Amino acid sequence: MALIVQKFGGTSVGTVERIEQVAEKVKKFREAGDDIVVVVSAMSGETNRLIGLAKQIMDQPIPRELDVMVSTGEQVTIALLSMALMKRGVPAVSYTGNQVRILTDSSHTKARILSIDDANIRADLKAGRVVVVAGFQGVDEQGNITTLGRGGSDTTGVALAAALKADECQIYTDVDGVYTTDPRVVPQARRLDKITFEEMLEMASLGSKVLQIRSVEFAGKYNVPLRVLHSFQEGPGTLITLDEEESMEQPIISGIAFNRDEAKLTIRGVPDTPGVAFKILGPISAANVEVDMIVQNVAHDNTTDFTFTVHRNDYQAALEILKQTATTIGAREATGDTNIAKVSIVGVGMRSHAGVASRMFEALAKETINIQMISTSEIKVSVVIEEKYLELAVRALHTAFELDAPARQGE
Ligand code: ADP
Ligand code: ASP
Ligand code: MG
Query: Is 109 part of a structural domain of the chain?
Result: yes
Quote the domain boundaries for residue 145: 1-173
What was the pLDDT predicted at 408?
55
179 lines ligand 1 (CB under 6 A): yes
Query: Is 160 part of a structural domain of the chain?
Result: yes
What is the rounded CA–CA span in Å between residue 295 and residue 264? 11
Mean pLDDT over each residue of the chain, to the nearest integer? 94
What is the rounded CA–CA span in Å between residue 68 and residue 108? 10
Query: Is 280 part of a structural domain of the chain?
Result: no
Weakest-pLDDT range from 69-78, 150-159, 297-306, 364-373: 297-306
184 lines ligand 1 (CB under 6 A): yes
What was the pLDDT predicted at 50?
98
Q: Whose CA is nearest to atom 8 of ligand 2?
A: 151
Q: Whose CA is nearest to atom 15 of ligand 1?
A: 182
What is the rounded CA–CA span in Å between residue 336 and residue 332? 14
- When pLDDT is averaged across residues 36-42 and rounded to a whole number, the result is 98
Contact 350, 378 (CB under 8 A): yes
Q: Is the dihedral of CA 359, 361, 364, 366 positive or negative?
A: negative
- When pLDDT is averaged across residues 309-320 and rounded to a whole number, the result is 95
152 lines ligand 2 (CB under 6 A): yes
Weakest-pLDDT range from 45-49, 128-132, 350-354: 350-354
- Sequence-ordered list of residues with C-beta below 8 angstroms from that of 354, at least 6 positions apart, any chain: none
Query: What are 400-411's pLDDT values in tens digits?
Result: 999 998 865 544
Query: What are 203-225's pLDDT values in tens digits?
Result: 999 999 999 999 999 999 999 99
Residue set of the binding site: 7-10, 47, 74, 173-174, 179, 184, 209-210
**Nearest-CA neighbor of 178 among 117, 79, 255?**
255
What is the rounded CA–CA span in Å between residue 53 and residue 63? 14
Query: What are 92-109's pLDDT values in tens digits?
Result: 999 999 999 999 999 999
What is the rounded CA–CA span in Å between residue 159 and residue 212? 12
What was the pLDDT predicted at 300?
82
10 lines ligand 2 (CB under 6 A): yes
Run of H or E including 170: strand 168-173
Domain with residue 54: its CATH number is: 3.40.1160.10
What was the pLDDT predicted at 243?
73
Query: What are 105-115's pLDDT values in tens digits?
Result: 999 999 999 99
Q: Please, which contacts does 50-58 make with residues 24 or more away whose CB atoms are closer than 8 Å?
A: none
In DSSP terms, 18 is beta-bridged to none
CA of residue 62 relative to chain centroid, distance: 24
- How many structural domains compose the chain? 1
For residue 151, is it left (φ>0), alpha (ψ between -120 and 50) or beta?
Answer: left
Q: Work out the pLDDT band at 278, boundaries 50, 70, 90.
A: very high
- CA 171 to centroid of ligand 2, rounded, Å: 13
Answer whether residue 180 shows pLDDT above 80.
Answer: yes
What is the rounded CA–CA span in Å between residue 8 and residue 135? 9
Query: Is 161 part of a structural domain of the chain?
Result: yes
Contact 83, 93 (CB under 8 A): no
- What is the maximum alpha-carbon separation in the chain? 79
What is the rounded CA–CA span in Å between residue 12 and residue 84? 14
In eight-state DSSP terms, residue 163 is: H
What is the rounded CA–CA span in Å between residue 320 and residue 335? 10
Query: Is 222 part of a structural domain of the chain?
Result: no
List, as one string, the DSSP characters of 34-45: -EEEEEE-PPTT
Q: Work out the pLDDT band at 160, boundaries 50, 70, 90.
A: very high
Answer whether residue 298 shows pLDDT above 50.
Answer: yes
What was the pLDDT predicted at 72?
98
Contact 22, 13 (CB under 8 A): yes
What was the pLDDT predicted at 354?
85
Answer whether residue 235 shows pLDDT above 80.
Answer: yes
- Sequence-ordered list of residues with C-beta below 8 angstroms from that of 340, at least 6 positions apart, any chain: 262, 263, 264, 309, 372, 384, 385, 386, 387
Q: Work out the pLDDT band at 1, boundaries 50, 70, 90.
A: confident
Query: Is 274 part of a structural domain of the chain?
Result: no
- When pLDDT is averaged across residues 169-179 and rounded to a whole number, the result is 97
Contact 403, 256 (CB under 8 A): yes
Answer whether residue 333 shows pLDDT above 80.
Answer: yes
Of residues 23 and 298, the one with the higher pLDDT is: 23
What was the pLDDT predicted at 402?
92
Q: Work out the pLDDT band at 316, boundaries 50, 70, 90.
A: very high
Side chain identity at residue 155, one-letter code: T
What was the pLDDT predicted at 411?
44
Contact 45, 38 (CB under 8 A): no
For residue 70, give the ligand nearest its CA: 2
Run of H or E including 286: helix 276-286
- When pLDDT is averaged across residues 350-370 and rounded to a whole number, the result is 94
Query: Is 9 part of a structural domain of the chain?
Result: yes
Query: Is 211 part of a structural domain of the chain?
Result: no
Of residues 227 and 247, the one with the higher pLDDT is: 227
In eight-state DSSP terms, residue 302 is: T
What was the pLDDT predicted at 242?
81
Contact 254, 406 (CB under 8 A): no
For the beta carbon of residue 137, count every other beta carbon within 10 angstroms: 28
Answer whether residue 246 shows pLDDT above 60.
Answer: no
**Nearest-CA neighbor of 191 among 214, 205, 210?**
210
Contact 361, 369 (CB under 8 A): no
- When pLDDT is averaged across residues 294-314 and rounded to a whole number, the result is 90
Contact 51, 63 (CB under 8 A): no
Which of 182, 212, 229 should be mutated for ligand 1, with most atoms under 8 A from CB? 182
